[in-house]
Structure 1
Amino acid sequence: MTTTDALDAEHARLLALQRLGVLDSTPEERFDRVTRLAQRLFGVPTVSITLVDADRQWRKAFVGLDGPVAQREGAFCDVTIRANRTLVVEDAAADDRFADNPFVVGDPHLRFYAGHPIAAPGGELVGTLCVIDTRPRRFDDGDRSLLRDLALWVQGELQHDVELDRAGAVQRGLLPRRPPELDGFRVAARCVPARGVGGDFYDWCATADGAGFVVADVMGKGMSAAIVAASARAALRTALRSPSLAAGVEAADDLLTTDLEEVGSFVTAWCATVDQDSGLVTYVDAGHGLASVLRTDGGIERLEADGMPLGVSPGASRARHRVQLRPGDRLVVVSDGLVDLLADLGVPGGDPRLVDPEVALPVPDGPRLSRVARDVRRAPDAGATLAALLGLADGTFVGDDLTILVLERVAS
């Protein structure tokens, strides 16, 4: 390799390291767990997940060391990534390559080192998982294999973060940037991602008589779900503008089936068009089942749901339903993330209609649920309704994406 090639490779490696977004980040249990496990398995005092920066080593997780930063010059981990293989030094003091190394003759007075390289998604070697001791040790083939497996575990965690970031960007790109122009209506919506990026999204677009709306959820998480969601959004937008909404959803189902079968997924979707003059909502429910109308008298009407998810039964006919929104009524469509959250808080079955605000459930969160139910019913507009429902997640673990869309017909 020429000097120019080496400089280009190092530049690419450092760029890949920066793109991981891990340098100088706070400790994380998922990485700390690996270092503790390696310490027990190998019986060593020191373990480190080390990322090799331009002129320093930075440790994402470590045990048995004073701090997260050390110089790169003379580092065993630097030698490991340059060699692109497991490096084992059983007795550094007796090894001509390392006997005068500053990490051997000075702190931490290293004698034993074993490290395996960690790669970024593009294959660039950005660091190591290494085990260290201040006395010589033997390290056999079984130990090497175990160290490699642990290093690949760390590598998977780092690369998973990159995938989630990319999927998150795709997911955010699916959401509309501006509310629809719909005279006599107000719209509020939000998608709150959970631990991993999934395929939840909401969408709207203009139609000949008003506007069309979608709330959908792709089974699965990560980049594959986000890509399927992008395809589903395009297909369902076309369905919203079709002369027949039911036929449009059937066509979308046919279009998506091959992609869904290839990834072993399906999509639940609630699709509707709204006539802005009459307030008539025409909708097709494809396995979603989580739409309700909050009436001005405080009642909640759960809308009919009788369709299968997209990708489950291609070629099946879709039923069209209608519901009338009167001035002051609010249509609320949620994802199953709200159902799971409500179930965790004690609502039987996670019923998204919440509970009777005057009768607290006999669970620790009963009073809070009654208060939120009251706030939802009394909310003056779509934005306040959305805020009240999102308030359920405050201080609470949310295990799935939480998506809510509220369409309000403004009272005259």
Structure 2
Amino acid sequence: MEALGVLDTPPDERVDRVARLAQEMFDVPMVSVTLLDNDRQFRMSEIGLGSREAPRRDAFCDLAIREPDTMVVEDATAVPSLAANPFVAGDPHLRFYAGHPLKAPGGEPVGTLCILDTRPRSLDARQRELLRELALWVQSELTHTREREGAASIQRAVLSAPAPKATGWSFASAARPAGALLGDMHDWHTRGETVRFTLADVMGKGAGPAMIAAGLRGSLRTAPDRSVLEAVEEADELLSEVIGETHTFVTAVHAQLSMATGDLTIVDAGHSLSFVLRSDDTWEPVRSTGLPLGTGFLEPRAPVDLRLNPGDVFLVCSDGLLDVLDEDDPFGHVLRTLRDREPTGAALEAVRLARDRDAPDDVTVMIIRTDA
């Protein structure tokens, strides 16, 4: 139970929704998603019971978790072992109870989804199956909650590198997840006069992509003396082994900037969303060929070399940004934003647009400007 991390938590709308659905489908006055601790029952969600805690002793749920399938008591007053139960003889005066066990990922029973009534009832085979399906839904939500929290913890631990600060250069980045977790990954790493940076977009949303993104960051940071091309190729090989069978892939840009010369080397893995805005307001898309990471094809890639001159701005973004730009003139929208704002302000403006327009996908931007 402690491993699930759901005891004594605030109400969870995902679980509450299942409870409301159960009440409507079975037309009962009381529903509970009950988790059992050593000496108490904690109601993660409840309707009609009036409290979120009760003693475990004498609880019907304590009996239900010992059953392999749905436990149904049609009329508790007619069952000698239950007629004197305090939940039957006293408040809430239960007559009918049906509960299906909830199990932890390891298979241990930890609670029940139960429906209750103050009058006798029965459940046919179809209704029992329906209650089982709802219980499995709750069980899935409990597991996913733990996975999301674990992925969020990993993400907080490894995705916190701030943008560099250096004389003659301005660096900025910002990101906004479409859900609770960010499937995009961006990273900065400075060594002397060299800055390496990465933006990767993992297909999908939620805990899985967030953890893949965190693993990719670790892979690209390993052995910093490798060239950016070698780093990408080795990460591709690793991801192909780990996620190839899940049909997930990662588009990415991994690059190295020399702050001494302005020389920029870019390796693009199926991302194709990197641009240079020159000081004369001309756009230069960074054209690079290469398949996304994790596809298993392991085709060779060629780096692209260019130079950033004073006044030039380099921008790389995830495709989620395209959802919030001006549909009629997206590049004009970006140009105006970059010219009207400092890089930090421009990055924050992208996040504001994503929030205000309820972007359906993660939005991440990284900006570099040559100031001298």
- After TM superposition, is the score higher than 0.5? yes
Match of 1:408 among 366, 369, 372: 369
Residue 110 of structure 1, CA deviation: 0.8
Residue 145 of structure 1: SS of its match in structure 2? helix
**Is 1:377 equivalent to 2:339 in the alignment?**
yes
Deviation at 1:288, TM superposition (A): 0.8
For residue 154 of structure 2, give the secondary structure of its aligned residue in structure 1: helix
**Identical pairs, percent:** 44
The separation in 1 between residues aligned to 2:246 and 2:197, in whole angstroms, is 26
Equivalent AA in structure 2 for residue 106 of structure 1: G
Specify the alignment match of 2:196 in structure 1.
212
The code of the aligned residue for 1:210 comes to: T
Stretches of structure 1 that go unaligned for 5 or more consecutive residues are 1-12, 357-372
Q: 2:327 maps to what in 1?
A: 347
Q: 1:237 to 1:277 in 2, by over 3 A?
A: same
Segment drifting more, 322-331 vs 276-285: 322-331
Corresponding residue for residue 147 of structure 1: 131
2:261 corresponds to which residue? 278
Specify every segment of 5 or more residues in structure 2 that has no aligned partner in the other structure, as ranges: none
Task: Provide Cα deviations, 1:251-271, integer angstroms capped at 9, x if missing partner.
Answer: 443343222323222111111
Deviation at 1:212, TM superposition (A): 1.3
Quick one: distance in 2 between partners of 1:231 and 1:16?
Answer: 23
Q: Which moved more, 1:226-235 or 1:280-289?
A: 226-235
Confirm or deny: 8 A CA contact 1:86 1:114 kept in the other structure.
yes
1:106 Cα shift? 2.0
2:248 pairs with 246, 265, 270, which one?
A: 265
Which of 25, 31, 34 is the aligned partner of 2:10?
Answer: 25
The answer as to 2:3 corresponding to 1:16 is yes
Paired amino acid for 1:267: V
1:198 and 1:220 in contact (8 A); partners too: no
Query: How many residues are treated as equivalent by the alignment?
Result: 372
Cα displacement (A) at 1:161? 1.1
1:214-264 Cα deviation digits (max 9, x unpaired)? 111222344443443344324433587434x44553444334322232322
Give runs of aligned pairs for residues 218-367 of structure 1, distance below 5 A. Answer: 218-237=202-221, 241-243=225-227, 245-312=228-295, 314-342=297-325, 347=327, 351=330, 353=331, 355=333
Q: TM-score, with normalisation over the residues of structure 1?
A: 0.79
CA distance in 2, matches of 1:269, 1:256: 12
TM-score (norm 2): 0.87
CA distance in 2, matches of 1:143, 1:193: 39
- Specify the code of the residue in structure 2 equivalent to 1:211: V
Please give the alpha-carbon distance, in whole angstroms, between the structure 2 residues aligned to 1:327 and 1:249: 29
Say whether the 8 Å CA contact 2:320–2:362 is kept in structure 1. yes
Structure 2 residue aligned with 1:5 = none
RMSD over aligned CA atoms reads 3.0
Instruction: Assess, with a 3 A threshold, how the Cα gap between structure 1 residues 37 and 374 changes in structure 2: closer, same or farther.
Output: same
User: Is the partner of 2:82 in helix, strand or coil?
Assistant: coil
8 Å CA contact retained: 1:198, 1:218: no
Amino acid at match of 2:244: E
Mapping 1:68-107, distance limit 5 Å: 68-83=52-67, 85-107=69-91
Matched, 1:121 2:99: no
8 Å CA contact retained: 2:175, 2:364: yes
CA distance in 2, matches of 1:224, 1:391: 26
Local SS of the residue matching 1:16: coil
Q: Which letter maps to 2:327?
A: V
Q: Do the aligned partners of 2:267 and 2:302 also contact (CA within 8 Å) in 1?
A: yes
C-alpha contact 1:16 1:126 (8 A) present in aligned 2: no
Q: Which moved more, 1:94-103 or 1:225-234?
A: 225-234
